[in-house]
Chains A and B, each alone.
Chain A
Amino acid sequence: DIQMTQSPSSLSASVGDRVTITCRASQSISKYLNWYQQKPGKAPKLLIFGASGLHTGVPSRFSGSGSGTHFTLTLSSLQPEDLATYYCQQTYDMESVTFGQGTKVDLK
């Protein structure tokens, strides 16, 4: 299996801060990397597909970058509604898709 490791596991930030979450793959996955946002008690929502593609309806303050084994999700200006847990996911190996362990973002 391809292992996905996110860092940090949690972070505290203020409204308006720039927030960056990192996801590393145990082997190269090209750009087959997606990001999801999950709020408490809710199903995850797709934010970014293919490392940098912004899904329909997702605010432009979200952006993704990277390829190979190193990827980042950036929130350019944290908003109160962005408080959630964020997960990366690789679909390079479609026979065994894997998620990162999640990064919880809360208010400082």
Chain B
Amino acid sequence: QVQLQESGPGLVKPSETLSLTCTVSGGSISSTTYFWAWIRQPPGKGLEWIGRVYSSGDTYYNPSLNSRVTISMETSRNQFSLTLNSVTAADSAVYYCARLYAFGVAIPGIYALDVWGQGTPVTVS
């Protein structure tokens, strides 16, 4: 049973860098079957896609965050990480890591977030 766990500081000062890590247990992050993603949820608001990374290191980011965000793999530790630069109060949110899996036999695959971490709250203040 794959499990994901976010970790990192819960408080970040404005203009500084937010850094979070997602540790994957029960499966290998190097598997070519999955993508790995970050999603956030500001207090009382909906879900916002941050971006995703593949085992090859290829990444795609939300265009609204593209200039400030980096997602990277740390395969030796079975982790992937999120870095968000120049944070403001608007970046305060619960941050989730999740696994993207392709269901069915369609080409291209129908990807969905099938395993999520519990989420970690981050406050910018």
Give the B-binding residues of A (Cβ under 8 A). 1, 31-32, 34, 36, 38, 42-46, 49-50, 53, 55, 87, 89, 91, 94-102
Given A38-B47, A44-B96, A99-B49, 14 other A-B residues pairs in contact with their CB atoms under 8 A: A31-B110, A34-B110, A36-B47, A50-B103, A50-B110, A53-B110, A55-B112, A87-B47, A89-B47, A94-B108, A95-B60, A97-B49, A100-B46, A102-B46
**Interface of A (DSSP majority class):** loop
Contact-size category for B: 20 to 34
Q: In the complex, which residues 90-117 of chain B have their Cβ closer than 8 Å to any Cβ of chain A?
A: 96, 98, 100, 103-104, 106, 108, 110-114, 116-117
A95 CB, min distance to chain B CBs, angstroms:
5
In angstroms, Cα B62 to Cα A101, docked, is 16
Is residue B118 within 8 Å, beta carbon to beta carbon, of the partner chain? Answer: yes
27 A-B contacts (beta carbon < 8 Å): A1-B63, A31-B110, A32-B110, A34-B112, A38-B47, A43-B116, A43-B117, A43-B118, A43-B119, A44-B96, A44-B113, A46-B113, A46-B114, A49-B103, A50-B103, A50-B110, A55-B112, A55-B114, A87-B47, A89-B47, A89-B112, A94-B52, A94-B60, A94-B108, A96-B49, A96-B60, A97-B37
